[in-house]
């Protein structure tokens, strides 16, 4: 069985092993494959039966030219890079990795929030530059510091990751208002309640996005929804960049309506130089790394291997195009 990994570097830059896949067949791993040159993708797949991709697109042309493909594994939760309809038409199962990064992504959302509240990186930097030594007082701060205890976090999308973020927020003394199309009454308690979207928008001190990108959630944060928010709200997004209308958020940051934003995702990745959020006030942007602790990447690798084993054994799992 011939296995091709089209873009393995982000998952495994060298600190984990491909041995699980290598044990299942002849395995060729490419660090990167062009996102735009379909012919390169076709040439690299060749006569392989098993194809793994993270962000390299697999359009219809790939399936029509690479007729030996029997199984596609996506090294991520999102699978929009694969033409799953064509794969289904040709009887090719496509498996994703649904739950590998729950703890890591929830932790990162809170890390963004804590950095906004305390600016730890900045204050450490200026101490090393000598600002504390030269200060006439025994302490100083360059930004307002924020205590979270007693404040309300609104979470849009209360699935596994939203719940992970909410659990930590409650441990910090925050109340959680959760908005989700599916409500699980067992999750409600004194410090966590479901609410409709307008209530979440109007009552939250912090709004965290943890919903999937669907037509009804695309640009859910825009000038109209921002207008319903408290003055000085904090917005967090480490879910999907297109959930936010970026110019509207930049305008709200620059006007002070939104006090700060912590973002790990943007609409086009890597970020473009003309993204308005790059020059917006109080906007913290990280390069889509919420998912990337070694522990969660190892978990992703393990599930990717298990997905292939399950397919070989005739019991495919995590199939997105049944």
Catalytic site positions: 240, 269, 288
Q: CA 254 → CA 212, 248, 285, distances in Å? A: 27, 10, 15
> Which residue carries 């997905």 as its tokens?
307
Lateral strand order in the sheet of 192-194 = 192-194, 175-179, 152-156, 206-209, 233-237, 258-263, 283-285
CA dist 251 and 260 (Å) reads 12
CA dist 211 and 33 (Å) reads 29
Angle (nearest 5°) at CA 53 between 52 and 59 = 110
Q: Are 250 and 224 in contact (CB under 8 A)?
A: no
Partners of 175 in beta bridges = 152
220 alpha-carbon distance from chain centroid: 16
């Amino acid at each position: 069985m011939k296995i091709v990994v089209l873009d393995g570097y982000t998952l495994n830059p060298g600190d984990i092993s491909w041995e699980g896949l290598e044990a299942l067949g002849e395995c060729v791993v490419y660090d990167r494959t062009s996102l735009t040159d379909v012919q390169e993708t076709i040439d690299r797949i060749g006569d392989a039966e098993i194809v793994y991709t993270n962000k390299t697109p697999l359009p219809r042309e790939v399936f029509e030219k690479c007729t030996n493909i029997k199984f596609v594994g996506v090294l991520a939760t999102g699978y929009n890079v694969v033409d799953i309809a064509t794969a289904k038409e040709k009887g090719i199962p496509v498996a994703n990795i649904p739950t590998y990064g729950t703890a890591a992504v929830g932790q990162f959302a809170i890390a963004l929030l804590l950095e906004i509240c305390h600016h730890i990186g900045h204050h450490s930097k200026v101490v090393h530059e000598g600002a504390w030594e030269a200060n006439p007082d025994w302490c100083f701060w360059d930004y307002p510091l924020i205590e979270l205890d007693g404040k309300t976090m609104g979470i849009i999308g209360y699935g596994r990751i939203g719940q992970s973020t909410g659990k930590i927020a409650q441990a910090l003394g925050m109340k959680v208002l959760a908005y989700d199309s599916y409500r699980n009454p067992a999750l409600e308690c004194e410090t966590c309640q479901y609410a409709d979207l307008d209530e979440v928008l109007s009552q939250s001190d912090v709004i965290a996005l943890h919903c999937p990108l669907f037509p009804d959630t695309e640009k859910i944060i825009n000038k109209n929804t921002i207008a319903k928010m408290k003055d000085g709200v904090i917005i967090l997004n480490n879910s999907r960049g297109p959930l936010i209308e970026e110019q509207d958020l930049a305008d709200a940051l620059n006007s002070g309506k939104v006090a700060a934003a912590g973002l790990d995702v943007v609409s086009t990745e890597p970020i473009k130089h003309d993204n308005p959020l790059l020059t917006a006030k109080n906007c913290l942007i990280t390069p889509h790394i919420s998912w990337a602790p070694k522990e969660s990447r190892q978990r992703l690798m393990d599930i990717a291997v298990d997905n292939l084993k399950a397919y070989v054994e005739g019991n495919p799992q995590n199939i997105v195009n049944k």
